[in-house]
A and B are shown apart, each in its own frame.
Chain A
Amino acid sequence: MSSAHTKTEHGHSTDHNYLNHGSGIWSWMTTLDHKRIGLMYFATVSTLFLIGGFFALGIRLHLAKFGATPLLEPDTYNKFMTFHGAIMVFMVIIPGIPAFLGNFILPIQLGAKDVAFPRLNLGSYYIFIAGAAIAASSMIFNQVDTGWTFYTPYSTAKTSNGVILLVLGAFTMGFSSILTGLNFIVTTHKLRAPGMTMDRIPLMIWALYSTSIIQILATPILAITLLLIGAEKTLGVGIFDPDLGGDPVLFQHFFWFYSHPAVYIMILPAMGVISELITAFSKKTIFGYRAIAYSSVAIAAVSFLVWGHHMFVSGQSTLAGIIFSIITMFVGVPTAIKLFNWISTMYRGTVTFEAPMLFALGFMFLFTIGGLTGVFLASTGMDVHFHDTYFVVAHFHYVMVGGTLMALMGGIFYWFPKMFGRMTSDLGGRISWVLIFTGFNVTFFPQFILGAMGMPRRYFDYLPEYTNLNQISTVGSWLIGLGFVVALITMIHGILKGEKAPDNPWGAKTLEWQTSSPPPHENFINTPTVTAGPYDFR
């Protein structure tokens, strides 16, 4: 009788879930359910990613110089570069994990029914959409070509007004970021399930919490910086104009004060995902839980002190350069702690290699390369040589694509069964991983060499001796593109025809695997009581 009752209840909860709780487009457009909002971010970010990827392929095809005449005109090339950068940074990588995976996963992992402020959450989504639309319209209609960093005087001295719209778009998306961060902080503090003490919080949430702190503290500085660009353009206030006593380099200080912590808005959630994947596919308690949790917070703290390392050749003083160089090295310490702990977790674990695990391992490999080359760039002597070359381009792609995008892909394949109630083809996931991982290295490793040889970044053209490596790089970009197409097909196939997913297909231990696949509207039939750590495989 008891068994029958349980089965009946389980059957009911499986039949009624958040996907069919309310039907029709309008119920999605006005939803207050964090899981649906997460999926809406997923659809939006994926679309923007495809667009940004198109511009990336265009850039690489142009730089391959397969024909006698250039593929793109100089102005067109500059626009492709600006669009690719602005879309990928502000619209894909920054919101990718926090807004999409974070929105879906954070409340369930806490044992909560929703985020603290559901209406604000939906508001954040539409503010993000508005910001992306404003930025996109400026790119389409006003032909911005400053690059995504809006450096002055380039962004303020030209007659084009496209910069104002793009800046307004970035400002608006920043506001969405602040509101999401606020929501996550309050949810983490106020809505944990009974028994979930601070040392029982999943590491994904520690990462999202640290990220939210950065969003709250750093994004307002971006807001005022972008506002000052607008004021400079419209009123000529002179703050960045040397004719009026201003200083263009001050803009760089303000911009990087936000944008270097923003790098950690991009990478910290990725590290949170990796902690989940490594434990789930090693079937082992995480090694050094506290060290990983606190290193997230440490990274968030140190990230505010290192912005000057983007400016070693800007005219910044030697003393400032030395100080920023030394402090930048410190970011490597908590990062190394994480990597050490992940490897230790795998040691003597029961390791399996499903697609999500492959992406996690790919992350560790690629991110380590990005991190080590970051140490090169943190050395002022070497940075003078590498600054604004393709070495830098390769470095930050290893961090942001090799890191964050790998983690995002791993996270999607990992939580896909929970989101949609269906499994993806693991073979499809593995094939996409092989293509993306291989293509990534073929694309960007040659760029380290090109940069060391002195090829400048952002240029429309280059000297003949760089041709071969550029062509190899372009071939790599095709593999990446193909890999993402395979991933897209795998996911669509999974949604339409995937095998029905059990509640806990990976045998993992965090709370989301204790509810149905897909979850009910309020996440749990009964709020769980937490009695152990999040990765208790003993």
Chain B
Amino acid sequence: MTSVSSSSEFQHQHHFKSADHQYASSKQGIWIFLCTEILMFGGLFVGYLIYHSLYPTVFKNGSETLDWKMGAVNTVVLLISSFTMAAAINYVQRGLHKVAAIMLALTIACAGAFMVIKYFEYSHKFHVGTVPGKFSLVDPACSAGGKRAECESKISALLKNPAELEKNHVNAEEVSRLKAVISQPKWEMFYGFYFVMTGLHGVHVVAGAFLIFWVFIKTLRRKVGPEYYTPVEGVGLFWHVVDLVWIYLFPLLYLVG
């Protein structure tokens, strides 16, 4: 008992007075870092609000072409992953390493599921042509020299081609929404924001998954436990912020319009 206890005792770093002192410092550091993450997304939200107020119809039309069902599924997936992450932290604190590892693995699986669903969403948009900038044109080189107004969009070409509509599972409802989109000038702006915002969030999901894998390895090797769980808790907080950002992105892009 004594031997086990002493071997698992956590040694705080030399410049701190105690383990508690180190823990409190680490906690403060993590929260400050998360503030910077929120601020980075905050800049994007400011840009979104500016352009939304400039082009309200463009943003409403664009929003209606998004698949809110897939977005909702992803929301549920992330909420489940937040639960499994919180459970993992709790199990590490209680020294139940195997269960904690299972919870961490489930969290990574949720991240993977989120990205798979996003892959299908993005693929559909690439096929239909609801993408930003020059890539929304049949001929991307067409818009050079300020002649964009004369160029044909992929959406327009698609709507003339019943076979392509069938192939990409575009139903009548989606057709009417796509017509509404291209009836407005500057319609690509919405998709610029959609891809930048969800893309940046996706990068954070992937980064979060790698961090969770890192603490997963630490858990298996019993480098963390009741005496020292700062890495798991820190990564958990990061994951909760990633989840929180999506909870703002989903209604903003998919629902409000």
Contacts and interface: CB of A to CB of B under 8 A. Distances in A.
Contacts of B55: 245
Q: Which of B50, B132, B143 counts the most chain A CB atoms within 10 A? A: B132
A237 B55 CA distance: 15
B193 A112 contact: no
Interface in B187-215: 188-189, 191-193, 195-196, 199-200
Contact of B51 (A114, A225, A239): A239
A236 B185 contact: no
Given A236-B134, A239-B192, A522-B15, A245 B51 contact: yes
A195 interface: no
A191 B15 contact: yes
Given A118-B15, A239-B47, A186 B196 contact: no
A228 interface: yes
Given A228-B47, A237-B192, A245-B51, A191 B25 contact: yes
Nearest to B39: A220
Given A113-B15, A178-B36, A237-B192, A183 B146 contact: no
Contacts of B24: 190
B194 to A, nearest CB: 9
Contacts of A388: none
Contacts of B36: 178, 182, 216, 219-220
A225 B32 contact: no
A503 interface: no
Contacts of B26: 117
A224 interface: yes
A404 B37 CA distance: 29
B257 interface: no
Contacts, number: 127
Contact of A117 (B29, B189, B191): B29
Contact of A235 (B143, B146, B195): B195
Nearest to A181: B32
A235 B135 contact: yes
Interface in A230-267: 231, 235-239, 241, 243-246, 250, 254
B78 to A, nearest CB: 22
Interface in B104-149: 132-135, 143, 146, 148
Secondary structure at the A interface, as helix, strand, loop or mixed, is helix
Contact of B15 (A114, A182, A223, A246): A114
Nearest to A107: B15
A185 interface: yes
Interface string A186-218: 100111000000000000000000000000110
A244 B43 contact: no
B44 A224 contact: yes
Nearest to A230: B196
A238 B132 contact: yes
Contact of A244 (B13, B50, B189): B189
Most buried by A among B15, B28, B200: B15
Contact of A236 (B33, B40, B132): B132
A186 B28 contact: yes
B29 A186 contact: yes
A243 B196 CA distance: 18
Interface string B43-85: 1100100110011001000000000000000000000000000
B15 A224 contact: no
Contacts of B195: 231, 235, 237
B35 interface: yes
Contacts of A246: 51, 189, 192
Contacts of A228: 47, 196
A210 to B, nearest CB: 15
Contacts of A225: 43
A117 B231 CA distance: 13
B133 A237 contact: yes
A221 interface: yes
A158 to B, nearest CB: 12
A527 to B, nearest CB: 9
Nearest to A215: B36
B186 A186 contact: no
B98 interface: no
B13 to A, nearest CB: 8
Contact of A245 (B25, B143, B186): B186
Contact of A216 (B32, B47, B196): B32
Nearest to A185: B32
B40 A221 contact: yes
Contacts of B39: 217, 220-221
Nearest to A190: B25
A244 B186 CA distance: 5
Contacts of B44: 224
A238 B40 CA distance: 19
A191 B196 CA distance: 40
B196 A237 contact: yes
A241 B148 CA distance: 12
Would you list the 5 A-B pairs with minimal beta carbon distance, nearest first? A236-B133, A245-B186, A237-B192, A224-B43, A113-B15
25 contacts: A116-B25, A117-B29, A178-B36, A185-B28, A186-B25, A189-B28, A217-B39, A220-B36, A221-B43, A223-B40, A223-B43, A224-B43, A227-B200, A235-B132, A235-B192, A236-B135, A237-B133, A237-B195, A238-B133, A239-B47, A239-B196, A241-B133, A244-B132, A245-B188, A522-B14
Interface of B: 13-16, 21, 24-26, 28-29, 32-33, 35-37, 39-44, 47, 50-51, 54-55, 58, 132-135, 143, 146, 148, 185-186, 188-189, 191-193, 195-196, 199-200
Given A190-B21, A223-B40, 7 more contacts: A189-B28, A191-B15, A220-B43, A224-B43, A227-B196, A236-B135, A245-B51
